[in-house]
Amino acid sequence: MNPAALSASPAALQQRIRQSLEAGKLEEAQAALESLIALEPANTDALIELADIMFKRGRFRASSRPLLQAARRLPRNAPLILELVQHLIARGEIVVARACLTLLAQAPDPPSELLVAQARMRFSLGELDEALALMRQAIRAGADAPGELHLYAMLLQFGGALGEAGAVLERCLERWPHFGDAAMVLVNLRKQKPESNRLAWLDEQLGRLPDASAGPDHAFNRAEFEYARFKTLDDLGRHNEAWDSLARCNALMHALNPYDADAEEAVTSALIAMPAVSAPVTAFEGPTPIFIVGMPRSGTTLLDRMLSSHSRITSAGEIIEFWRQLHWVADVKPARAEGLLRLIERSADIDYREVGARYLQQTQWRAQGRAYYIDKLPANIQMVAFIRRALPHAPILHMVRDPMDTCFSNFKAMFGNVSPYSYELGALAHYYRQYSRLVQHWRATLPGAMLEIPYAMLVQDPQTTLSRVLARCGLDVEQACLRPERNTTPVATPSSPQVRESIHTRGIGQWRSYARQLEPLRQALAISIE
């Protein structure tokens, strides 16, 4: 460290930091911040800023250190603690982030804004019961904004309180009738019926909404109302009209979220070309993760609900912890396709035992005393080789569903801004082909690494299929596994209202109601359809 910097006052160092940042000189800003922290080791603002600069400079792993230092001396400043928690979560320091939230929860008489912010953090960690309890407290404390009511209703929905969620959304829409988030969730809570639906109201609102050309926010809101109209008409069996609304919704979403086919193909090709590495001989103790992978909307949630009904298994939900810890150990900044490509380049040099150890350290608390916990992230299909190297003892379950049913279910899901592939039939076909290429590669190069579970078999013969799955974990079927609708644990997924139903086969061949409109997709997927 520069001796001159050590002799500078905190005010002079702060001025130097600002000047360096304005000039884009991150290295100089980092040096000045380190000098400031040497003088003020409990300066949480400076520690967070140092971590942010290190992250921007590509030092993802090292950027954890100042955040952990800040967590050891928490300020008496709730918004600053929440900012610190957000950064800790982004670095995969989940255990420490939760400890900070636990301390924050002890604050007396917190305002509604603080309670809502804590609820959002707990929600981001998949702690749905805790998030709902905080939102109930926030509502009692006066939380009343549209976004707050929407979050409250979503958490009620995830917990199975569909009637209560509907009442919250109805009240919300009475006051803010143009709030697309609420309209979309409301129609998803139950099947719309001829004698009970909001179709006329939706048409009225669509006639009043600003045009999509007014800006991205207006385009997104309009897409949500078109989706709500599609869902209503689809439930009513008016498929041609329903398709028109779905097409308008997805055209708006595709314009807002263009699909990068070249990047997706590059990642798939790089994964296929990745050199093989032997899995370390590792004996890990404690609860064991079960990974459920596959295409989104392939039945992963149903399998998760069935398995987590077992007395020795719980569900952690859709967590991205394996991705976070893999990037952290490899010291690669998470950056979508670009970050994944860099990670693949370094794959031969990664310490996979450390990946496995960190993953377990940051996730085993989710087991809640059970022997197994489920990590249900469909996108982990890209991680199969990495999981096998880092956690060779962890079962990987691959859900396989008919390509047309899978793709149509994605096309009609309205994932928001997180799944660009799903809003245009050509993009959807391309994405599915990349998934199919990768699965074929895993089957050829890692035989037996994944236990494949056909969706049709799971719903048509659940007893036999589930027996085979549980045998992989050394467990027997329990009757509760065959009645997942009785599983009372919350679930955060687009299909959360449907998981409260008993096992059924209505999802098989569902795409055929739109066979004419989906013909371009069928032709594009011909190589994958048996």
Angle between helices 216-235 and 239-256 (to 10 degrees): 160
**Domains in the chain, please, with CATH?**
263-528 (3.40.50.300)
| Phi-psi category of residue 399: left, alpha or beta, with phi > 0 → left and psi -120 to 50 → alpha | beta
Distance CA 11, CA 129 (A): 45
Classify burial at 28, counting beta carbons within 10 Å of its beta carbon; exposed 0-12, middle 13-18, buried 19 or more: middle
Is 381:300 a contact under the CB 8 Å cutoff? no
Assigned token pair, 389:
């190297």
Query: What does the pLDDT average to over 450-466?
Result: 98
Cα(238)–Cα(50) distance, integer angstroms: 57
Q: Torsion over CA of 416, 421, 427 and 429, rounded to 10 degrees?
A: -120
Residue 279 · residue 271 · CB < 8 Å: no
- Return the pLDDT at 467: 98
> What does the pLDDT average to over 144-172?
97
Percent of the chain past pLDDT 70, that is, above it, reads: 97
Q: Are 372 and 289 in contact (CB under 8 A)?
A: yes
> What percentage of the chain reaches a pLDDT higher than 90?
93
The dihedral through the CA atoms of 294, 298, 300, 306 has a sign that is: negative
> CA 298, CA 300: separation in Å to the nearest integer?
6
Region 328-351: what's the mean pLDDT? 95
Indicate the pLDDT class of residue 202, thresholds 50, 70 and 90.
Answer: very high
The predicted-structure confidence for 248-305, as pLDDT tens digits, reads as follows: 999 999 999 999 999 999 999 999 999 988 777 677 999 999 999 999 999 999 999 9
Tokens of 498: 């449907």
Predicted confidence at residue 342, as pLDDT, reads 97
Average pLDDT value over all residues in the chain: 95
Please state the pTM of the whole predicted model: 0.95
Alpha-helix residue ranges (DSSP H) falling in 23-93? 26-39, 44-56, 64-72, 78-90
How far from 75 is each of 39, 109, 111, 190, 365, CA to CA, in Å?
16, 18, 18, 45, 26
Please report which confidence band the pLDDT of residue 336 belongs to, taking 50, 70 and 90 as the band edges.
Answer: confident
pLDDT for residue 404 is more than 60: yes
Report pLDDT for 100.
Answer: 97
pLDDT at 385 > cutoff 60: yes
Report the alpha-carbon distance of residue 87 to residue 57 in Å, rounded: 16
pLDDT given for residue 333 in this prediction: 94
Kindly indicate the confidence band of residue 152, based on its pLDDT and cuts at 50, 70 and 90: very high
| Structure tokens belonging to residue 175 | 């006051």
φ/ψ of 289, rounded to 5, equals: -75, 150
Q: Could you write out the DSSP letters of every residue in 483-506?
A: -GGG--S---STTTTGGGSPP-ST
Categorize the per-residue pLDDT at 2 as very low, low, confident or very high, splitting at 50, 70 and 90: low
- The Cα–Cα gap between 134 and 139 comes to 9
Per-residue confidence (pLDDT) for residue 530, from 0 to 100: 47
Give residue for tokens 């639906």.
197
d(CA 230, CA 242): 4
| Residue 528's pLDDT band (cuts 50, 70, 90) | very low
Lowest mean pLDDT among 76-80, 195-199, 499-503, 504-508: 499-503
* Burial (0-12, 13-18, 19+ Cβ within 10 Å), 521: buried
Supply the pLDDT for residue 283: 78
pLDDT at position 529 over 60: no
* Whole-number Å distance between alpha carbons of 524 and 491: 33
Give the model's confidence band at 3: pLDDT under 50 very low, under 70 low, under 90 confident, else very high. low
The mean pLDDT value for 48-70 works out to: 97
Residue 7's pLDDT band, with cuts at 50, 70 and 90, is low
